[in-house]
């Protein structure tokens, strides 16, 4: 259900659905279910089944932890109005963008050092969350470096090759695994002389996670780089900052993490380095991050008001109140500031799916669940008369939210998605 709902709402309500996070992990010890573990785990959290009456009655006493984020707390968040409109932030950003743009475009192709500097700058811009602001110039720069032969490679410079490969694969451009062939010995393994290049091993490790099926060179690259990075961590000679980067990458590669959290980490990392040459880039990233953060906080407050108005959190004491976790999941899928409505609608869907999951798992008896299932399958509020109050409330909240969402999409996009949304909800009830 979740994947279908995401597809319908995203296609109709979002402009950009690129770069979904591969892993959003819940806090240990909490059952977040549909709330916080990405689209696939949201789907797996929805095995709605008919349970035996004695089992339903036994589980009806289960009590979940209350939410750590109350309505009053969320509404008390102080938005940075200077960031979201009371000062001319657009003018400041334009000036900063021009400065950064000049840095990207000043490197001329043909000189290896300049090519590597351009790749490093592009990587920094993307890691700092500014890729969208420089989309066109980055695209042109990568197109110019699309062919491996156009990149002058220094012998044994595994770092530049791995960075080049990753940036191409990351942007869905062609990049052959044979770019790493010069760094392999006659036995088909990577040369032992590469082991001491920690930056190179780290770059190779990150690049190897963009492997496609059957790319044996990249499989060997991952094994080789992982082994050597772990060995370097055991030593005492590794720079503190570099050791932190290696440890972070070995825990989970950068592109598999929630990118918004990665952006913050990179900004803080750049500030610690205090490289004055990059201050324009860092300042642009900081301002952009704060602008986006204010938008997300405002969206969370909007969805929190909707959740309070439904009354489900207070009246359905058996169910999980996981609004903030659901919003976190939606913000991971749709982080762009301009995709506010899509983000809020996905949050509402995730919250309601979590509630329905609890209706089936811990609350309803077999007879009640049969009636509830029929009401959902028929998508008719007249079928709710025999339901207990809690299930009536749950069905009406789902019914009204789906129809309001369909109406909003119809007005904005001219597409009626109500049949698809209703059909998807019905398919879950009968599963």
Q: What ranges do the domains of the chain cover? A: 8-16+63-79+292-430, 86-285
190: three-class secondary structure by DSSP: strand
Q: What is the pLDDT of residue 243?
A: 92
Across the strands, what pairs with 290?
A: none
Average pLDDT, the chain: 80
Distance CA 116, CA 289 (A): 27
pLDDT tens digits along 144-197? 877 555 554 544 589 999 999 999 999 999 999 999 999 999 999 999 999 999
pLDDT at 280: 78
For 395-410, how does the pLDDT look when each residue is reduced to its tens digit (9 = 90+)?
999 999 999 999 998 9
Q: Given this model, what pLDDT does residue 170 score?
A: 94
Q: For the chain, what percent of residues have pLDDT higher than 90?
A: 39
CATH of domain 8-16+63-79+292-430: 1.10.600.10
The pLDDT score that the predictor gives to residue 111 is 59
Question: What is the per-residue pLDDT for 108?
Answer: 53
How many alpha carbons lie under 13 Å from residue 262 in its C-beta half-sphere? 24
The highest-level CATH class for domain 86-285 is mainly alpha
Higher pLDDT, 424 or 149: 424
Of residues 317 and 343, the one with the higher pLDDT is 343
**Mean predicted confidence (pLDDT) in 297-309:** 95
d(C-alpha 345, C-alpha 347), whole Å: 5
Which residues are paired to 411 by β-bridges? none
pLDDT in tens, 87-136: 566 677 777 777 777 777 765 555 566 788 888 989 999 999 988 888 88
Q: Which residues contact 91 (CB under 8 A, 6 or more apart)?
A: none
Residue/partner pairs of 168-173 with CB below 8 Å, 24 or more apart? 168/142, 169/207, 169/210, 170/126, 170/210, 170/255, 171/138, 171/139, 171/142, 173/142, 173/143, 173/146
User: Sorting pLDDT into bands at 50, 70 and 90, what band is 56?
Assistant: very low
Q: What is the pTM of this model?
A: 0.78
8-16+63-79+292-430 and 86-285 have identical folds: no
Q: What is the band of 81 on the pLDDT scale with cuts at 50, 70, 90?
A: low
Which pLDDT belongs to residue 283? 84
Most confident of 263-267, 375-379, 420-424: 263-267
- Two structure tokens written together for 96: 């900063």
- Residue pair 421/402 in contact (Cβ under 8 Å)? The answer is yes
More confidently predicted of 71 and 33: 71
CA dihedral 40, 45, 46, 48 (to 10 degrees): 150
At 4 the pLDDT is 59
Is 379 strand, coil or helix? coil
Q: Which of 92-96, 209-213, 296-300, 305-309 has the lowest mean pLDDT?
A: 92-96
More confident residue, 114 or 308: 308
Q: Decide which of 76 and 149 is more confident.
A: 76
**What pLDDT score does 29 carry?**
34
């Amino acid at each position: 259900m979740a994947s279908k709902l995401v597809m319908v709402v995203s296609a109709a309500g979002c402009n950009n659905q690129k770069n979904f996070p591969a892993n959003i992990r819940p806090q240990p010890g909490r059952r977040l279910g549909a709330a916080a573990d990405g689209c696939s785990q949201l789907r797996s959290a929805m095995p709605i089944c008919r349970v035996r009456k004695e089992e339903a009655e036994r589980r009806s006493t289960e009590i979940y932890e209350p939410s750590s984020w109350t309505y009053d707390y969320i509404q008390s968040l102080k938005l940075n109005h200077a960031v979201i409109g009371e000062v001319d932030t657009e003018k400041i950003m334009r000036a900063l963008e021009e400065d950064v743009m000049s840095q990207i475009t000043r490197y001329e192709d043909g000189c290896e050092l300049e090519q590597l500097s351009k790749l490093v700058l592009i990587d920094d811009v993307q890691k700092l969350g500014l890729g969208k602001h420089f989309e066109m110039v980055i695209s042109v720069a990568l197109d110019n470096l699309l062919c491996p032969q156009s990149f002058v490679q220094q012998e044994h410079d595994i770092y530049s090759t791995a960075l080049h490969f990753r940036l191409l694969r990351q942007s869905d451009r062609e990049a052959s695994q044979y770019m790493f062939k010069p760094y392999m010995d006659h036995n088909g393994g990577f040369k032992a002389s590469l082991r001491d290049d920690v930056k190179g091993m780290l770059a190779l490790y990150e690049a190897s996670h963009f492997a496609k099926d059957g790319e044996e060179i990249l499989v060997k690259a991952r094994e080789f780089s992982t082994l050597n990075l772990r060995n370097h961590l055991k030593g005492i000679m590794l720079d503190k900052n570099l050791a932190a980067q290696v440890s972070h990458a070995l825990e989970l590669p950068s592109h598999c993490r929630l990118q918004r959290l990665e952006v913050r980490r990179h900004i803080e990392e750049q500030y610690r380095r205090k490289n004055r040459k990059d201050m324009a880039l860092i300042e642009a990233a900081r301002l952009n991050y704060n602008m986006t953060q204010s938008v997300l906080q405002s969206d969370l407050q909007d969805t929190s008001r909707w959740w309070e108005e439904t009354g489900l959190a207070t009246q359905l004491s058996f169910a999980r109140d996981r609004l903030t976790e659901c919003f976190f999941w939606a913000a991971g899928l749709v982080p762009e500031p301009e995709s506010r409505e899509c983000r809020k609608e996905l949050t509402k869907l995730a919250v309601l799916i979590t509630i329905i999951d609890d209706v089936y798992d811990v609350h309803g008896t077999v007879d009640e669940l049969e009636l509830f299932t029929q009401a959902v399958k028929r998508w008719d509020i007249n079928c709710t008369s025999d339901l207990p109050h809690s299930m009536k409330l749950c069905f009406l909240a789902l019914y009204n939210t789906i129809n309001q969402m369909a109406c909003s999409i119809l007005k904005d996009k001219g597409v009626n998605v109500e049949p698809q949304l209703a059909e998807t909800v019905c398919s879950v009830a009968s599963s």
